[in-house]
Structure 1
């Protein structure tokens, strides 16, 4: 049995399908589809130098990697590599070969600090630490059973607040971009992101194939979105929250919570069966909201970092 690492071929349907299959087996808490894999490979900002890799064993894809610089960070030289191997194909060298290929590529681009997520399980943590990565912050994945669970009743919408979907902004999504750019600044993370390129946001975020514009919901004041929850759906009954946030001037009013519960009620009415979200383990306020909604922690991951040179 021989394991080889090569670039993903996004224009080959079987490649995108195999990448999706590995990710769904290894990390079922994040939505992937062949379309979203192709979108990331072809629409990520050129400055990210995004490079998806696959590990093959005798022609079968058993491991994947997403490798890129972080061009929208205020700190230069940062990069990410996220590597996942099929749970039933571990201990065959795929992970090691993907790490080596990813690190060599990022070093050639001048990356100085590498970030990688690993599930908080003994084997995954040991793998990261063997390769010189040290643990940092952690985050929970949470799951909500939309088919059989019980959502809280819909709260009353406060006076002066209106709810709109992303579809309502189809002619001009810039207000959503501005809200996204403000809220991302306060998202707990090892990497500081800044959204300044509207055209890149349109290409990567607004036109993302998983974005469900009917379920993505914004609370608006004077017609402008001031809190929102971004919904992804995969066409297979699954829903995921990609972002939830509130503009600083409107925090403390429960508006993000309002947007999220309305989105989830409509998702259930549309026949979706399970929902996923993620929170930094230190984000007590958002974890409390999600538990109130009925989410339960289903897994935890740890952010690892390695400094090159």
Structure 2
């Protein structure tokens, strides 16, 4: 037996455990989960529900689902469903999916986006519920504890080039915001959500408790931001490369690899043992950068969509 109910702050550690069991390639933290709901823009209509299951006389969190709108997309929304594999086959995934879709339909969403593991059982589950597959995403892992040693940092950088941490920029990140908008425009994808103004961008990203400015790096060339790489942690030993980008005028100079290499060295020094990242399968340049750094594919997913109504 199981029940579906609203998420509460005290559920956060259990939901992290569920997500880690269902999708070990993703990095989550209890602080981050709480922050997401407390700070989500009202227009996103973000909702999180959990599934409680009876297990050995105790009630445990066995699954969770998030759903919300994608403002600026003309009626698109997103959802994620995670079920602890130990509780598979009980109908929990279907119940969570139904609750998420019901919420989205009530907010006026007409097109739902979600990511689905590229395996026969997961794809079959999605197909039976009316979801159609689209573009492919690759998730990669670098084991900093047992993989071959990281490449050393360069002894010297080209004239006019330096690497800084985001923390060194203080509270004014407007130049990084402008660089991020430019790089986001060129990211492969099928959702166009428009540009965020500075304050909403700052709130969505750098005010998160799990984004680490002291581990995130920026390559400055000739006095302007040329490239950057963001580190997001679970507060323990796992780290996620939240975004890496290079401005158009500086591409082809190896700056993305330089920024990411510095992040890896900083993260290893801070006790991180596993670093994860994800790329659209069509993003050959970034996949090549990650391969040179030692990342290896650990999971493949496909974006699925469904029309509501």
TM-score (norm 1): 0.94
Q: Which runs of 4+ in 1 moved over 4 A?
A: none
Cα separation, 2, equivalents of 1:162 and 1:193: 32
Cα separation, 2, equivalents of 1:268 and 1:61: 32
How many residue pairs match? The answer is: 303
Cα separation, 2, equivalents of 1:269 and 1:109: 45
Cα separation, 2, equivalents of 1:116 and 1:171: 34
The answer on whether the counterparts of 2:256 and 2:289 sit within 8 Å (CA) in structure 1 is no
Give the equivalent residue in structure 2 for 1:133.
131
Structure 1, 183-192 or 91-100: larger mean CA deviation: 183-192
Q: Are 1:81 and 2:84 matched, yes or no?
A: no
**How far does residue 248 in structure 1 lie from its aligned partner after superposition?**
1.5
Structure 2 residue matching 1:206: 3-state secondary structure:
coil
Cα separation, 2, equivalents of 1:269 and 1:146: 10
**How far does residue 234 in structure 1 lie from its aligned partner after superposition?**
1.8
1:49-64 map, 5 Å: 49-58=45-54, 59-64=59-64
1:219-234 map, 5 Å: 219-234=219-234
Give the equivalent residue in structure 2 for 1:287.
287
Give the equivalent residue in structure 2 for 1:8.
7
Residue 26 of structure 1, aligned match among 15, 18, 22: 22
**How far does residue 89 in structure 1 lie from its aligned partner after superposition?**
0.6
Cα separation, 1, equivalents of 2:272 and 2:127: 38
The answer on whether the counterparts of 1:181 and 1:194 sit within 8 Å (CA) in structure 2 is no
* RMSD between superposed Cα atoms in Å: 1.3
The answer on whether the counterparts of 2:160 and 2:223 sit within 8 Å (CA) in structure 1 is no
5+ long unaligned stretches in structure 2: none
Give the equivalent residue in structure 2 for 1:305.
305
**How far does residue 56 in structure 1 lie from its aligned partner after superposition?**
1.4
Give the equivalent residue in structure 1 for 2:112.
114
Structure 1 residue matching 2:202: 3-state secondary structure:
helix
Give the equivalent residue in structure 1 for 2:151.
152
Cα separation, 1, equivalents of 2:162 and 2:226: 10
**Deviation by residue 1:41-86 (Cα, 9 ceiling, x = unmatched):** 1112111011111111133211111101011x4x310100111100
**How far does residue 153 in structure 1 lie from its aligned partner after superposition?**
2.5
Cα separation, 2, equivalents of 1:114 and 1:242: 23
**How far does residue 212 in structure 1 lie from its aligned partner after superposition?**
1.1
Cα separation, 1, equivalents of 2:40 and 2:251: 31
**Deviation by residue 1:165-205 (Cα, 9 ceiling, x = unmatched):** 11012231111122122211111122123332222222221
5+ long unaligned stretches in structure 1: none
Give the equivalent residue in structure 1 for 2:249.
249
The answer on whether the counterparts of 1:151 and 1:293 sit within 8 Å (CA) in structure 2 is yes
Give the equivalent residue in structure 2 for 1:268.
268
